């Protein structure tokens, strides 16, 4: 059993994961928690190279190769970064983790759920999050936020029907995970303002840490 607390951030692209991880991290640091923030893919030096290959490569990545590369990234991440941080009493916040494989490679790409379950078990080395926040927003809103983030104005929109359907399957899979595991996986309505969503995050995370990480604040002399 680890001493720290492992919290993961999930949701479709543009749902607000990275924004809310940053906001929560500052809030928790102010409150004196020992924190490590990380992401998948790319939380380790090896992972950063895999991330580059997966997200920026010239070559079309075969879906099975993609599934296994994400698993390799996760194995390195868990064994060299996440578990050691938890064992030394840190709170670990990760931008994506195992549920992303279920949503993207399972529901999105269509790999069978027993294969996905095996790969997740192997890649995570059995380590599941203590708490998972799923940022839930429509595909249209998420897409509009990403266009804005990337500074795309009006020109041709390559977000075609196939992609809308893909991201809709991913979103639905996340919602299903929250329904199946309501204690670990908390669905957060992320359609409102950043402030509104941040307030929802705080409402869930602070009581959770009060219960599960009471001894994990940095020792502070006042």
Which of 4, 8, 11, 18 binds Mg ion (CB under 5 A)? It is 18
Report the distance separating Cα 123 and Cα 97, nearest Å. Answer: 10
From 194, 203, 207, 218, residue interacting with ligand ADP (rule: CB under 6 A): 194
17 assigned binding-site residue: yes
- d(CA 193, CA 209) in angstroms, rounded, equals 24
- The reply on whether position 216 binds ligand ADP by CB under 6 A is no
What residue has token string 């990380």? 38
Q: Give yes or no for residue 47 binding ligand ADP (CB under 6 A).
A: no
Calculate ∠ Cα 50-186-162, nearest 5°. 55
* CB nearer Mg ion, residue 18 or residue 191: 18
41 counts as binding ligand ADP under rule CB under 6 A: no
Q: Which of 91, 197, 201, 205 binds ligand ADP (CB under 6 A)?
A: 197
Tell the smallest beta-carbon distance from residue 95 to ligand ADP (Å): 7
Q: Is 13 in the site for ligand ADP (CB under 6 A)?
A: yes
User: Is 136 among the annotated ligand-binding positions?
Assistant: no
Residue 147 has φ and ψ, to the nearest 5°, of -60, -40
Q: Give the footprint of Mg ion on residues 147-206 (CB under 5 A).
A: none
**b or e along 39-59 (b: 16 or more beta carbons within 10 Å of the residue's beta carbon)?**
bbbbbbebbeebbebbeeeee
């Amino acid at each position: 059993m680890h001493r720290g607390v492992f919290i993961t951030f999930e949701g479709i692209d543009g749902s607000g994961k990275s924004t809310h991880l940053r906001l929560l991290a500052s809030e928790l640091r102010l409150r004196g928690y020992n924190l490590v923030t990380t992401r998948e893919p790319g939380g380790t030096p090896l992972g950063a190279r895999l991330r580059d290959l997966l997200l920026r490569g010239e070559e079309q990545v075969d879906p099975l190769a993609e599934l296994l590369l994400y698993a390799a990234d996760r194995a390195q991440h868990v064994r060299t970064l996440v578990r050691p941080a938890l064992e030394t009493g840190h709170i670990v916040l990760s931008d994506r983790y195992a549920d992303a494989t279920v949503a993207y490679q399972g529901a999105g790409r269509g790999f069978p759920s027993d294969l996905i379950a095996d790969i997740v078990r192997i890649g995570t080395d059995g380590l599941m999050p203590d708490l998972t926040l799923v940022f839930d927003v429509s595909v249209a809103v998420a897409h509009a936020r990403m266009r804005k983030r990337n500074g795309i104005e009006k020109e041709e929109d390559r977000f075609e029907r196939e992609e809308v359907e893909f991201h809709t399957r991913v979103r639905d899979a996340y919602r299903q995970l929250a329904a199946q595991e309501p204690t670990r996986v908390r669905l957060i309505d992320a359609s409102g303002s950043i402030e509104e969503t941040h307030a929802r995050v705080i409402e869930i995370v602070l009581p959770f840490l009060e219960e599960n990480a009471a001894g994990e604040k940095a020792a502070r002399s006042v």
